[in-house]
Amino acid sequence: MSKPLILVTNDDGITAPGLKALVEVVKKIGEVFVIAPDSPQSGMGHAITVNSPIRIDKSDVFGKIPTYTCSGTPVDCVKIGIFHVLKRKPDLVISGINHGSNAGSNVIYSGTMSAAVEGAIENIPSIGFSLDDFAHDANFLPAQHFARVIIQKALASDFPDSICLNVNIPNLPLEKLQGIKVCRQAMAFWEDRFDEREDPLGKKYYWLTGKFRDQEGAEDTDMAALKKGYVSVVPVQFDMTAHHAISRLNQWKM
């Protein structure tokens, strides 16, 4: 059997240690193709570049592994990777390892996860990995172990249609990690705050900041799993319909 073709991307950009950590894992599993943003694209959500063209360039940062940088967003990387560079569907799209958690509502803001969602839209098994540590020099070894386990399971199993996986790894040493839990997205949100500053010309500018809080404290969520030292796996879909609300809206008799 030929090796699976694995497209690897991220949102922290081509030079991020988390991307290197993920490439190290998959190069032993399949035929790897890397296409990553040429600059950091954190928080880009499901953005695509429509008002300007994009560029791609070959890169040798991963030696003999075919690698491109892209001037666009993580979703652009997946699209141009599949439809222009590879010209065929990969067997797996993986994204990460993100520097920072994408649990709770972060899934919506995350470029890492949006790349995986784009893979799901193309009906390719897709997985986004995130480590709960924003540091550039984070320890990716435990995350690499679990990424290997989950990628091998995904390739060997019947991957559900049109979904991707949101995998978050707690920032703990391997021996303290409790295992893997399949769970749902927590109702956890950012309490936003804007940090107001003044530029040298006296004009104001603002940094988005805030605290991330779990609003529900339920047991079956990704936030709860991470808190207990488990790797969380949430299946993510792109049907955003609130099906439960359809009958209530029909009562509005518009």
Q: Which of 74, 1, 72, 76 is closest to 31 using CA atoms?
A: 1
Contacting residue, 182, 217, 228, 229, with its own copies by CB under 8 A: 182
Residue 238 main-chain phi, psi, to 5 deg: -110, 5
Pairing of strands 31-37, 5-9: parallel
**Inter-residue contact 115 to 130 (CB < 8 Å):** no
Least separation in angstroms between residue 50's CB and its own copies is 4
| 187 counts as binding its own copies under rule CB under 8 A | yes
Least separation in angstroms between residue 184's CB and its own copies is 4
Contacting residue, 7, 127, 183, 224, with its own copies by CB under 8 A: 183
The interface with its own copies within residues 8-47 (CB under 8 A) comprises 40, 42-47
Least separation in angstroms between residue 146's CB and its own copies is 9
| 86 counts as binding its own copies under rule CB under 8 A | no
What long-range pairs does 53-59 form, CB within 8 A, spacing at least 24? 54/80, 56/80, 56/84, 56/85, 59/14, 59/34
Contacting residue, 153, 174, 216, 218, with its own copies by CB under 8 A: 153
**How many Å is the Cα radius of gyration of the chain?**
19
**Inter-residue contact 177 to 170 (CB < 8 Å):** yes
The interface with its own copies within residues 122-151 (CB under 8 A) comprises 149-150
Least separation in angstroms between residue 165's CB and its own copies is 8
Tokens of 185: 């997205």
Q: Which of 146, 213, 150 is closest to 186 using CA atoms?
A: 213
Give the total residue count for the chain. 254
The interface with its own copies within residues 233-252 (CB under 8 A) comprises 233-243, 245-246, 248-250, 252
Q: Which stretch binds its own copies (CB under 8 A): 18-26, 61-69, 169-177, 192-200?
A: 192-200
Least separation in angstroms between residue 137's CB and its own copies is 19
Contacting residue, 97, 185, 214, 232, with its own copies by CB under 8 A: 185
Least separation in angstroms between residue 132's CB and its own copies is 17
**Inter-residue contact 159 to 125 (CB < 8 Å):** yes
The interface with its own copies within residues 200-219 (CB under 8 A) comprises 203-208
